[in-house]
Amino acid sequence: MFHREGHKIIFIALFICIILSLIAEFLIENRLLKGGIILLLMVLLVLVLQFFRNPKRNFTRNEEQVLSPVDGKVVVIEEVFEKEYFNEKRIQVSVFMSPLNVHVTRYPVGGKVVFSKYHPGKYLVAWHPKSSEENERTTVVVNTKAFGDVLFRQIAGALAKRIVNYAKEGQEIKQTEDSGFIKFGSRVDVFLPIDTRIDVKLNQKVKGGITAIASK
């Protein structure tokens, strides 16, 4: 199963691979070179397919938990001053996605979207300290019963060239529903109240909509 954001790209990639494979088949006489080109095209197609995969998962929603919005590895757990929306200290939990991870972004909590904003920006590597402030990004805040306002931010990286964000202010959403997609990129930050219990550790691998990163 593939995410809807990848349908067009997958079709284009498949078309290009077929055309180039046919060209190689009929115009290149050297078997080794021909085979190498076709193999390379197949590998590139598989990479595109796996990047846009959207595997079926059995989600368990729990309003007392904050679930990881994406697949990846926890790279930041720290107390920070969040200045875009809260203007106060929050606990930041950041998950980094490699190109091999599923890149669907899911709502980590359920409730009402009270803020949603897109920011154009740079394409610094995702682990750069200023990437959360200077890179292309979207900021979404969901008001919840258990945690109050929870902010999560999609951040583009060096390879990401487009962030898709479905969240609209005033929208009622459910935990684990699709909230967006980061094409060929790279990190999501979650900002939680200071008294929130964090249930993950640095470098821990997490799954979007499955792993609880925090709880009451």
CATH number reported for the structural domain that contains residue 95 in this entry: 2.70.70.10
In this structure, are 31 and 85 located in the same domain? no
> 93 burial class (0-12, 13-18, 19+ CB within 10 angstroms)?
buried
Question: What is the residue type of 108?
Answer: P
Question: Is 58 part of a structural domain of the chain?
Answer: no
In this structure, are 37 and 70 located in the same domain? no
**Confidence at residue 185, expressed as pLDDT on a 0 to 100 scale:** 60
**Confidence at residue 44, expressed as pLDDT on a 0 to 100 scale:** 85
How far CA 94 is from CA of 75, 118, 203, in Å, comes to 6, 18, 10
**What contacts 110, CB < 8 A, 6 or more positions away?**
61, 63, 142, 144, 173, 174, 175
**Confidence at residue 88, expressed as pLDDT on a 0 to 100 scale:** 96
In this structure, are 122 and 195 located in the same domain? yes
In this structure, are 112 and 175 located in the same domain? yes
Structural domain count, the chain: 2
Sign of CA dihedral 107, 113, 114, 115: positive
Q: What is the three-class DSSP state of 96?
A: strand
Catalytic residues: 186
**Confidence at residue 133, expressed as pLDDT on a 0 to 100 scale:** 63
pLDDT of the chain along its 216 residues, tens only?
776 776 788 888 899 989 999 888 888 888 888 888 889 989 888 877 777 777 888 899 999 999 999 999 999 999 999 999 999 999 999 999 887 888 889 999 999 999 999 988 665 555 555 556 667 889 999 999 999 999 999 988 655 556 889 999 999 999 999 998 877 667 899 999 999 999 999 999 999 999 999 998
In this structure, are 92 and 25 located in the same domain? no
In this structure, are 154 and 184 located in the same domain? yes
How far CA 26 is from CA of 16, 30, 33, 40, 174, in Å, comes to 16, 11, 12, 17, 53
In this structure, are 72 and 137 located in the same domain? yes
In this structure, are 101 and 207 located in the same domain? yes
In this structure, are 23 and 72 located in the same domain? no
In this structure, are 21 and 110 located in the same domain? no
Token couple for 2: 């593939």
In this structure, are 140 and 116 located in the same domain? yes
**Confidence at residue 30, expressed as pLDDT on a 0 to 100 scale:** 86
Domain that holds residue 158: 65-215
Question: Is 59 part of a structural domain of the chain?
Answer: no
The answer to whether the beta carbons of residues 131 and 157 sit under 8 Å apart is yes
**Confidence at residue 182, expressed as pLDDT on a 0 to 100 scale:** 79
**Confidence at residue 191, expressed as pLDDT on a 0 to 100 scale:** 97
Residue 60 DSSP one-character state: -
* Distance from C-alpha of 207 to C-alpha of 44, rounded to nearest angstrom: 25
In this structure, are 103 and 174 located in the same domain? yes
**Confidence at residue 159, expressed as pLDDT on a 0 to 100 scale:** 56
* Distance from C-alpha of 15 to C-alpha of 197, rounded to nearest angstrom: 49
